[in-house]
Structure 1
Amino acid sequence: MRFRAALFSAAALSAVVSSVASAAEPQLPVRVVVVTTFEIGKDSGDVPGEFQTWVEKLPLSQELAAPGTDHGLMRYNPDLQVLGVVTGEGPEHMASAMTALVLDPRFDLRKTYFVLAGIGGIDPKFGSVGSAVWAPRVINGGLAHLIDAREIPKSWPDGFTPVMGATPTDKPTPPLHSQWGDMAYTLDPALVSWAYGLTRDVALQDTDGLRASRERYRGYAHAQKPPRVMLGDTLSSETFWIGARMNAWAERWVAYWTEGKGVFATTAEEDVGFMQALTAQARAGRVDINRVLILRTASNYDMPPPGKSAADLLAEEAHESGFSGFLPSLDAAYQVGSVVVRELAMHWGKYRDAAPKGN
């Protein structure tokens, strides 16, 4: 009995200590989390990555430790109550960073909005470099069966088949890997529509470099238009693929997993990890999955212009800073994304308990 009493007293004491500690360290209020995937050097004052423009212009002046993340630091704007994070590139870095953030006791994120603002490739059949694209859907381009190109049956369009599927066009689409699936995620349509409507007329940077880049894509009407804000689905794959044949696969893969409803627009690495992590945390009641947005801005085309090979294009753009639209795409991510972030943060009384809805 004495032993049991001692255990109870220890447990009670621990609870009191924990309660006091919590009271001494109140949680930081967070209205919006801005999610970026990489920074090249410092967070400000040098060659920018995805994070730097947000740090300098929003601004995000207050530094916070970010344990469990590749970058190690987060940034915070106490007036707007906006938190900015750098997750690291790839779906694994993204998933681990988002999980660490949501489980961090410094934050209560149950009513928080998440805006992933990153660069990516764009299908020249869909749009042009420098453009900004809100994603209604994320399709998993990394989980598949694959047959080597030298062994693909002649009747197949490519070597990819769904896991649990034996042909590229198995019907119905297999239910992977749980009752929720993890091959295609649909973001809240009303929220995506609202974000697009709020930003569709934002003027995006157009440069001599962008004009020269799109001029090469003769025969691709959408690739030759000036940068603009659009709606289109993103295909998420850790493998950085390039070329006309892979682009054809991407178009088919998006159509397959969305049952013909999706439109392939942009390429990205991290978005499936972003959605997987937040979907899991939403099931635990820690976040609201209907408060999630993804904005991809086009730093490069995902296939070469007429007269060039895939290897030619890869040689031109082997480094991210050499992408034809690298700096304009970073600018577009902030110019478009910050409109939404500021609207949510500055009118929190309106959006705290009821998410905005578009037409």
Structure 2
Amino acid sequence: MRNACRKALVSTLSLLSLTCATAQATPVETAKAKAALKAIAACKPGAACAAHLPVKVVVVTLFEIGKDEGDAAGEFQLWKQRAGLSEKIAFPQGFHDLYYNPQTQVLGMVTGMGNIKSATATLALGLDQRVDVSKAYWLVAGIAGIDPAAGAVGSAAWARYVVDGDMAHEIDAREIPAKWKYGYFPIHGSTKVEDDPMGGTAPAPANGEMFALNPSLAQWAYGLTKDIKLPDDPSVAAQRATYTGYPLAQTPPKVMMGDQLAAMTYWHGEKLTQWGRDWVKYWTHGQGTFVTSAMEETGTFQSLEYLTRIGRADRNRAMVLRAGSNFTMPAPGVTPAENMARENAGYSGMTAALEALYAAGSKVVGELVTNWPRYEKAPPK
């Protein structure tokens, strides 16, 4: 199914214009960027550097399957090819070298999978004296599981909240008290046997349990991209059709708003999907809606929080865009174990999700670069 999806979408590649490739900086800005590239080449990574490479947007991807070009695409490959990220910058203190376009001043990175790698790579970039990301916008663009109650595979969701799914207490589900809904519950929730630990009000998220993004920026990005027609494929549509009883799962992919649950464990199934819904509601005090599941955002945002404190980044300029490559639970009649085994062989919606990320993400990047004099001063509202 994955291969059929990939072949059907290859013909769409030439139809998706590279918005940010034509939204170039001024000749003076480009000349300065090229001069900075030459100057920082003489600086050792991690050492003091008098030159500073100007960066308008950092595109944060989490993994690449193989090579950066010419083979099966992961999250980074489309950006490198279509956004003209041709200039390599050695980045040994991170997971993957950086790539840069001096005409647009867009920088692309691959953090590696999981919130530990995303946190360390983001912090390393922010502290790298060769680059200036103090006014840069950050676009996290990655694939995710998607709740079939919220949307369809191939859809892309802009988040207002990022919730951590790792910091918790746990009792084996076969041993939890009868009144408890889950054996996986908040560290600071009640642990009285007579109380459901998730039945109360969440405390203030003081340890990275939840990050609220700039809501105006998220809404602006959604407004800019909500009418984009995302690519679809018959094989993905056939898969969606099996999710009877989930009308939103059966609709064609679209750009939407939806919040992100980040956990290092790849979980799957109807019961854990309900846990994800409840967990996001709990930590956002009922304001958030669980839509996508992945691994990295809380690590990325923790580092951005720290970098903001020292003026090396601005966490109010950060966005999260996740596209569904698979559902977080199986269709009716299929067990979680069976469905996970199928997914381990390859996500049927992988190509559609990557195309959705680029279609929506490049629209936002292009707007920021094209009108940089406006957005350099303050985030859009």
| TM-score scaled by length of structure 1 | 0.90
| 1:140 pairs with one of 161, 164, 170 | 164
RMSD of aligned alpha carbons: 1.6
The runs of 5 or more residues in structure 1 that have no matched partner are 1-19
Which residues of 2 match residues 67-106 of structure 1 at below 5 A?
Answer: 67-71=92-96, 73-106=97-130
Distance 1:105 1:82 in 2: 17
Q: CA deviation at 1:346?
A: 1.8
After superposition, the C-alpha distances for 1:233-259 in whole angstroms (9 at most, x for unaligned) are 100000000000100100110111111
Q: Is the 8 A contact 1:160 1:168 kept in 2?
A: no
Distance 1:164 1:257 in 2: 11
Q: Is the 8 A contact 1:254 1:263 kept in 2?
A: yes
| 2:305 counterpart of 1:273 | no
Q: 1:24 and 1:314, CA in 2 relative to 1: closer, same or farther beyond 3 A?
A: closer
Q: CA deviation at 1:174?
A: 2.9
Distance 1:251 1:86 in 2: 28
What's the secondary structure of 1:139's corresponding residue?
strand
Which residues of 2 match residues 133-212 of structure 1 at below 5 A?
Answer: 133-165=157-189, 166=191, 167-169=196-198, 171-176=200-205, 178=206, 181-212=207-238
Which residues of 2 match residues 60-71 of structure 1 at below 5 A?
Answer: 60-71=85-96
Q: Is the 8 A contact 1:31 1:111 kept in 2?
A: yes
What's the secondary structure of 2:142's corresponding residue?
strand
Distance 2:134 2:95 in 1: 24
Distance 1:169 1:237 in 2: 18
| 2:69 pairs with one of 29, 33, 44 | 44
Which residues of 2 match residues 115-126 of structure 1 at below 5 A?
Answer: 115-126=139-150
| 1:330 pairs with one of 335, 350, 354 | 354
Q: Is the 8 A contact 2:140 2:321 kept in 1?
A: yes
Q: Is the 8 A contact 1:115 1:294 kept in 2?
A: yes
Aligned to 1:250: 276
What's the secondary structure of 2:54's corresponding residue?
coil
| TM-score scaled by length of structure 2 | 0.85
What's the secondary structure of 1:114's corresponding residue?
strand
Aligned to 2:323: 297
What's the secondary structure of 2:133's corresponding residue?
coil
Query: Which amino acid letter does the alignment assign opposite residue 330 of structure 1?
Result: L
How many residues are matched?
A: 332
Aligned to 2:31: none
Q: Is the 8 A contact 1:163 1:174 kept in 2?
A: no
| 2:80 pairs with one of 47, 55, 77 | 55
Query: Which amino acid letter does the alignment assign opposite residue 208 of structure 1?
Result: P
Q: CA deviation at 1:272?
A: 0.8
Q: CA deviation at 1:23?
A: 11
After superposition, the C-alpha distances for 1:50-71 in whole angstroms (9 at most, x for unaligned) are 0000011112111111121122
Distance 1:296 1:266 in 2: 7
Aligned to 1:27: 52
Q: CA deviation at 1:142?
A: 0.9
Aligned to 2:251: 225
Distance 2:308 2:158 in 1: 21
Distance 1:219 1:164 in 2: 35
Q: Is the 8 A contact 2:201 2:285 kept in 1?
A: no
Identity %: 47
Q: Is the 8 A contact 1:159 1:168 kept in 2?
A: no
Q: 1:24 and 1:136, CA in 2 relative to 1: closer, same or farther beyond 3 A?
A: closer
Q: CA deviation at 1:24?
A: 8.0
What's the secondary structure of 1:190's corresponding residue?
helix
Q: 1:85 and 1:171, CA in 2 relative to 1: closer, same or farther beyond 3 A?
A: same
The runs of 5 or more residues in structure 2 that have no matched partner are 1-41
Query: Which amino acid letter does the alignment assign opposite residue 287 of structure 2?
Result: K
Query: Which amino acid letter does the alignment assign opposite residue 151 of structure 2?
Result: G
Aligned to 1:3: none
After the TM superposition, which segments of 4 or more aligned residues of structure 1 sit over 3 Å from their partners? Answer: 20-25
Aligned to 1:234: 260
Aligned to 1:339: 363
Q: Is the 8 A contact 1:196 1:231 kept in 2?
A: yes
Q: CA deviation at 1:149?
A: 1.2
Q: Is the 8 A contact 2:149 2:249 kept in 1?
A: yes
Q: CA deviation at 1:25?
A: 4.9
Distance 1:241 1:137 in 2: 20
Query: Which amino acid letter does the alignment assign opposite residue 155 of structure 2?
Result: S
Q: CA deviation at 1:293?
A: 0.1
Q: 1:324 and 1:26, CA in 2 relative to 1: closer, same or farther beyond 3 A?
A: same
